[in-house]
Amino acid sequence: MGNSMFVYDEQMTNLIFDYCRWRLALDPVPLDFGGAQAMALNATLQGLINAEGTDPARVMEIFDNELATAVVSCDSPRFLSFIPAAPTKAALLFDMVVACSSLQATSWMEAAGAVAAENQALGVLAGLAGLPAGAGGCFVAGGSAGNLSALMVARDTAGHRMGGRAPERPLVAISEEAHSSVGKALRVLGVESLLVPCEDHRLTEDALRFALESHPRGSDVIAVVATAGTTNAGIVDDLAGVGAVAQERSLWFHVDGAYGCAALFAPSVRSRFDGIELVDSFVVDPHKWLFAPFDCAALVYREPNLAKAVHTQDASYLDVLHGDAPEEWNPSDYAYHLTRRARGLPLWFSLAVNGTDAYRDAVEAVLTVAQECADLIDRTPHLELIRRPELSVVLFRRTGWDRSDYERWSTWILNDQIGFVMHTTWEGEPVGRFAFLHPDTTLEIVGEILDTTA
């Protein structure tokens, strides 16, 4: 018979499926611990990989008891640091289908079924943004990969867009609040940034116009990146104003909505995103606030053909991928990647079985708890709200605390499994920060956490 590694193993299958069943049923999942609490992991792992192989039950036991507990559960309703995660059960289950079926979605020729389903999910997102019917793109590993891929198209199509007047040393206009991945993407591309000074942390039409007109190299700008939901404070830039300037000057208009564009689902804040329909490209991470498992970011272009002209890989052995049928869609043509997991399918399945109303309600629930948290902070004498949340990030000051107080507090409440809340820097000062994303994070949990600041 075949190689033993490829033989169906009932016992190991049960071992894994039982674990997954148990983990899926946990409600809520334990917060667990991170690197600061982790002890002697290298000693634990010692000898586990050897020439003969180790009993699967033993390996799973070590994973369950020693490794999994040394990872803070980002899907815990008490995980309120950085950007948490909250994948739906449907999405998690379908991720197992993607794994067990070795589903890739690189080209139409090999994987039309997976690509068509991914494109249906992308279509929902493009529709929410108000893009025309021809819009499309692909799912990439994260917002960082999406920003890089989109800005590469912005750079390489500048000549075409600007009627042959593309500057020799192009610049991309970004605000100080742009995510670090944008700056990094520009470094990869060898493109410099023009940093637009902003009032109150928001990129506006006036700020952009002023920067382009007053900067000695303003006419070298070929693109502008706006953020729809800054990571630090959840601020949405003036998309309509920035989009208008971009149109006037033939700049590529990219919106980084990795975190915030999930709120396109929420009628209560939809008007904050007015102008997003003007984008040339935008990114939203379903692995953040659209309840999909890692790693999944949606990259959508207004005119996918421009992206295709830039990203299509022309190796002779790939020629067969590029047929002529109009429905053919190769996700490899819309980002810098080639082989890719069908990472959009867990989102697709979850959207299909839960319906878009459930997404609207889940996002609205998170927006509500953020407002309630802000109210609670406002009512608490020793706490101070930094600004009214626009989306679901809440910044606050504990009077009398310095950075080391916030640090001690974070360590203490994680040790006691009350919450995972880190501080951030706001206008040069350390402040507490909540990032809400899990619909099961209740005001009661928030109150319990805030009580520990007394």
Ligand X SMILES: *Cc1c(COP(=O)(O)O)cnc(C)c1O
CB count in 10 Å sphere of residue 301: 25
Residue 193 is a binding residue for ligand X (CB under 6 A): no
With residue 40 as reference, give the H or E element that holds it: none
| Single residue of 179, 254, 272, 433 touching ligand X by CB under 6 A | 179
- Hey, which residues between 284 and 313 contact ligand X (CB under 6 A)? 285, 297
* Closest approach of ligand X to the CB of residue 359, in Å: 19
Q: How far apart are CA 91 and CA 88, in angstroms?
A: 5
Report yes or no: 378 and 385 within 8 Å, Cβ to Cβ: yes
First to last CA, the chain: 67
Instruction: Give the DSSP per-residue string, 300-312.
Output: EESSHHHHHHHH-
Give the per-residue contact string, 45-84, with ligand X (x = CB under 6 A; - = no).
--------------------------------------x-
Report yes or no: 146 and 299 within 8 Å, Cβ to Cβ: yes
Residue 144 is a binding residue for ligand X (CB under 6 A): yes
| Single residue of 157, 175, 204, 231 touching ligand X by CB under 6 A | 231
Strand-strand pairing, 171-175 and 192-196: parallel
Partners of 199 in beta bridges:
none
- Name every residue whose Cβ is closer than 8 Å to that of residue 378 and which is 6 or more positions away in sequence: 385
Q: How far apart are CA 416 and CA 117, in angstroms?
A: 43
| Single residue of 136, 137, 143, 241 touching ligand X by CB under 6 A | 143
CA dihedral 126, 132, 134, 136 (to 10 degrees): -20
| Single residue of 181, 350, 410, 441 touching ligand X by CB under 6 A | 181
- Hey, which residues between 320 and 349 contact ligand X (CB under 6 A)? none
Nearer to ligand X, 80 or 258 (CB): 258
Q: How far is CA 278 from CA 129, 236, 281, in A?
A: 9, 15, 9
* Closest approach of ligand X to the CB of residue 88, in Å: 18
Stretch of residues binding ligand X (CB under 6 A), selected from 6-14, 101-109, 235-243, 254-262? 254-262
Helix, strand or coil, per DSSP, at residue 295:
coil
CA dihedral 38, 41, 44, 50 (to 10 degrees): 160
Stretch of residues binding ligand X (CB under 6 A), selected from 141-149, 167-175, 298-306, 335-343? 141-149
Helix, strand or coil, per DSSP, at residue 409:
helix
| Single residue of 238, 256, 280, 390 touching ligand X by CB under 6 A | 256
Residue 237 is a binding residue for ligand X (CB under 6 A): no
Stretch of residues binding ligand X (CB under 6 A), selected from 42-50, 137-145, 196-204, 446-454? 137-145
| Single residue of 233, 251, 258, 342 touching ligand X by CB under 6 A | 258
Structure tokens that stand for 308 in this block: 């295709």
Residue 87 is a binding residue for ligand X (CB under 6 A): no
Residue 142 is a binding residue for ligand X (CB under 6 A): yes
Stretch of residues binding ligand X (CB under 6 A), selected from 34-42, 95-103, 139-147, 160-168? 139-147
Residue 227 is a binding residue for ligand X (CB under 6 A): yes
Q: How far is CA 332 from CA 102, 119, 321, in A?
A: 17, 13, 10
Stretch of residues binding ligand X (CB under 6 A), selected from 13-21, 138-146, 342-350, 353-361? 138-146
Nearer to ligand X, 92 or 262 (CB): 262
Residues that bind ligand X (CB under 6 A): 83, 142-144, 179, 181, 227, 231, 256, 258-259, 285, 297
